[in-house]
Structures are given as structure tokens and as C-alpha cells.
């Protein structure tokens, strides 16, 4: 019996273009076009009659595990979820086709972002052969048509490097901050309540959360608190009103400093009282907050406050599980979505 040794060349990855990262016009263009690729409504209420939020969450978790197992680029999973949400926002889809749609979205996203994209046959194996390669290829054309071939969507990952470049962080700490931020972005992509937030807002909150989680090491961050909130808001051209409540609301809750925080803010400062922040944001949602270009952000605030308690509990629990998956590369569980609903 002979031992056969096969050497496989590592997959070549594109090197970030410094001309793009150091040109502020690129960041401004991203901020200008980012909302073009967001779902226009909560499709569970007005489009989808057969699909429920928990079904999307199950498929999103399965898609994340497949991407991790295949060592896909970090951008593939959020981009695939963007395709899935945009398709479901316009096309009523039976629940029996949800996993097929998820596989097609990963197929398209990997073609756009991967050096060696996922194959139709491999994706069908992950569905336990509940779909056929020909069926996946046929649906690929359907999804492309419904998305009008607009596949180069802006995702939170597009902002990460621009934000990190402008933060006063040691270069040797940036890879760790980047890795943590990517984990937060993946978490946001699994929850539909984040789907209609601008990618720049999610990226800002994810970087802030990463720095917050690494503050136990004194050398990781020299910028914390309000200074970090102000800098992140400035980098992404986000009004501070998105990150802090209206003037005067703190006077009633001066004993809880972290009540001053909203999306990126509550991630940067660990809240002293989850219930306090929850009810505080509910009060803010009644009147709304003036956001960018004078738009009222009351409804998004209401959605965010509804999920705040769950997200903060998951900050300790679920995020640790996700981080463990990303480190140990645990093989994904093949989900029989057609039979699960």
C-alpha cells in the first residue's frame, strides 16, 4: 500500500487596494448608495404569507455554518443575506423553497467575492440532496432577474477598513478588532431586525462593540466613551442623534450613564441596566429622533428597542458560540428546511 501525498496550493486572495482605502471619495460614495440595496419594507407583514421570521433565522444560521465550513470570504454571508432579503421583499415565496433560495444566494455571493466560488453540487450536498443542481441553476436566473442583476450591494464589510484606518489604534491590534467586528456583522445578518439598518450603522456598531469587548486589555484601545462615539459618527457621516438620545432625556435617569447610548453607543458602553435602556429607548421611540438629513428615526428605534434585551443577552451567550464556531470550524449541521417547517 503506497501513501499518496498531494500538495494543494493556497487560495490566492486579493490584496486591499490602498488607493481605494485612502481616498475619502470612496467612503462618501458608499454612504451615498448604501440605502439603494436595503429591503424597502418588513416583508413578513406585507409580502410573505407563508414564511415567518424564525424560518429566516434558521436558514440564516445554516447559511452561516456552510460559509464557515467552506472557509468563504467574510463578505459572502452578509452579501448572500442581502440578496435573500431583497428577493423576499418583492416575491412571495413558499416556505418549502426557502432553503433553495438561501443556497442560490450563497451561490451568487460566492461568485462575486470568492476566488474559487461554491459549486452547485456542493451546495446541494449541504441540503442533504433535497434540491437538485439543475433546480439551483434555474433559480439562479430567477433571482438574478428579480434583483435586476444588481449584485454589487454595499455591506457593512465595505466600511470596516475605512473605519479602522481612521481610528487611533495600534496596527498590531487591528486584526483582532477586525475579527471581532466581522463576528458582530455576521450576528446582525442572522437577525432580520437589523436588515433595514444602513450598513454603515451596523459597521460602526460592530467596530465599537469589538473595541468594547477588547477593553479588558488596556493596550487595545486608547479611545473610549464619548470620544469613540463621536469619532465613529464622524467617520461614517452619521449624525450623533443616531447614537444618543435627545437633550434633556438623561436628566430623568442620571444614575445610569449608559442610557445615553443607542445602536453603536450601547455596544461601546456595556449598559448598567438592560431594562433601563429598554424602557428608555421605548420612550425615545414614541417621539422619534432626528437622524441624517432630517429624517425621523422613530420606527427603527422602536424595532431596535424591542430586540435590545435579546441582543444584549446574546452578547454574552450567542456571540461566544459564534466565536467558537469561527475558531474551531465546527462542521455545520445539515438542515432539512423543507421538513423543518
Q: Model confidence over 71-127: pLDDT tens digits?
A: 888 899 999 999 999 998 888 888 888 899 999 999 999 999 888 888 899 999 988
- The mean pLDDT of the chain is 68
* CA angle in degrees (0–180, nearest 5) for 144-32-171: 100
Q: Which CATH class is domain 42-153?
A: mainly alpha
13 and 115 in contact (C-beta within 8 Å)? yes
CA distance 116 to 33: 28
Q: Does this chain's domain 42-153 share its CATH topology with 157-325?
A: yes
Is the CATH number 3.40.50.1820 carried by domain 157-325?
no
The CA-CA-CA angle for residues 153, 157, 163, to 5°, reads 125
User: Is the pLDDT at 333 greater than 50, yes or no?
Assistant: no
Q: Which three cell numbers stand for residue 270?
A: 456595556
Q: Of 13-22, 171-180, 230-239, 291-300, which gets the smallest average pLDDT?
A: 291-300
Domains of the chain by residue range: 42-153, 157-325
Rounded Cα distance between 63 and 46, Å, is 25
In the predicted structure, residue 339 carries a pLDDT above the cut 50: no
Confidence grade of residue 232 (pLDDT, cut at 50, 70, 90): low
Q: What is the pLDDT of residues 247-297, one digit of tens each?
A: 443 333 333 233 333 333 433 333 333 333 333 334 434 444 333 333 333
Q: For residue 227, how far is the Cα from the chain centroid?
A: 24
Tens of pLDDT, residues 131-166? 888 999 999 999 999 988 988 888 888 888 888 887
- Give pTM, 2 decimals: 0.65
User: What is the 3-class SS of the chain, one letter each residue?
Assistant: CCCCCCCCCCCCCCCCCHHHHCCHHHHHHHHHHHHHHCCCCCHHHHCCCCCCHHHHHHHHHHHHHHHHHCCCCCCHHHHHHHHHHHHHCCCCCCHHHHHHHHHHHHHHHHHHHCCCCCCHHHHHHHCCCCCCHHHHHHHHHHHHHHCCCCCCCCCCHHHHHHHHHHCCCCHHHHHHHHHHHHHHHHHHHHCHHHCCCCHHHHHHHHHHHHHHHCCCCCCCCCCCHHHHHHHHHHHCCCCHHHCCCCCCHHHHHCCCHHHHCCHHHHHHCCCCCHHHHHHHHHHHHHHCCECHHHCECHHHHHHHHHHHHHHHHHHHCHHHHHHHHHHHCCCCCCCCHHHHC
pLDDT attached to residue 89: 85
pLDDT value, residue 196: 79
Q: Please name the residue that has the C-alpha cell 459572502.
A: 76
Amino acid at each position: 500500500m503506497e501513501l499518496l501525498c498531494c500538495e494543494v496550493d493556497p487560495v490566492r486572495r486579493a490584496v486591499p487596494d490602498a488607493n481605494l482605502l485612502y481616498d475619502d471619495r470612496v467612503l462618501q460614495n458608499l454612504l451615498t448608495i448604501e440605502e439603494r440595496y436595503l429591503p424597502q419594507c418588513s416583508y413578513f407583514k406585507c409580502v410573505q404569507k407563508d414564511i415567518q421570521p424564525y424560518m429566516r433565522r434558521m436558514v440564516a444560521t445554516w447559511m452561516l455554518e456552510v460559509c464557515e465550513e467552506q472557509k468563504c470570504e467574510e463578505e459572502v454571508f452578509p452579501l448572500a443575506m442581502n440578496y435573500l432579503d431583497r428577493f423576499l421583499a418583492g416575491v412571495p415565496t413558499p416556505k418549502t423553497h426557502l432553503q433553495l433560495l438561501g443556497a442560490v444566494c450563497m451561490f451568487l455571493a460566492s461568485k462575486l467575492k470568492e476566488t474559487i466560488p461554491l459549486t452547485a453540487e456542493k451546495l446541494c450536498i449541504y441540503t442533504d440532496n433535497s434540491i437538485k443542481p439543475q433546480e439551483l441553476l434555474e433559480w439562479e436566473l430567477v433571482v438574478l432577474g428579480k434583483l435586476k442583476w444588481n449584485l454589487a450591494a454595499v455591506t457593512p464589510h465595505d466600511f470596516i477598513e475605512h473605519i479602522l484606518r481612521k481610528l487611533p489604534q495600534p496596527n498590531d491590534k487591528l486584526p483582532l478588532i477586525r475579527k471581532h467586528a466581522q463576528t458582530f456583522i455576521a450576528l446582525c445578518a442572522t437577525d432580520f431586525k437589523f436588515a433595514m439598518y444602513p450598513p454603515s450603522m451596523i459597521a460602526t456598531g460592530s467596530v465599537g462593540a469589538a473595541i468594547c469587548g477588547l477593553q479588558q486589555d488596556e493596550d487595545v484601545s486608547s479611545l473610549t466613551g464619548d470620544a469613540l462615539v463621536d469619532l465613529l459618527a464622524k467617520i461614517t457621516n452619521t449624525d450623533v442623534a443616531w447614537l444618543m438620545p435627545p437633550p434633556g432625556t438623561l436628566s430623568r435617569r442620571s444614575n445610569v450613564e449608559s442610557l445615553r447610548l443607542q445602536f453603536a453607543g450601547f455596544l461601546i458602553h456595556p449598559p448598567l441596566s438592560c431594562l433601563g435602556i429598554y424602557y428608555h429607548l421605548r420612550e425615545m421611540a414614541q417621539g422619534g429622533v432626528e437622524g441624517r438629513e432630517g429624517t425621523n428615526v422613530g420606527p427603527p428605534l422602536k424595532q431596535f428597542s424591542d430586540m435590545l434585551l435579546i441582543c444584549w443577552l446574546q452578547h454574552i451567550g450567542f456571540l461566544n458560540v459564534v466565536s467558537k464556531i469561527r475558531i474551531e470550524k465546527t462542521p455545520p449541521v445539515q438542515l432539512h428546511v423543507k421538513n423543518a417547517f
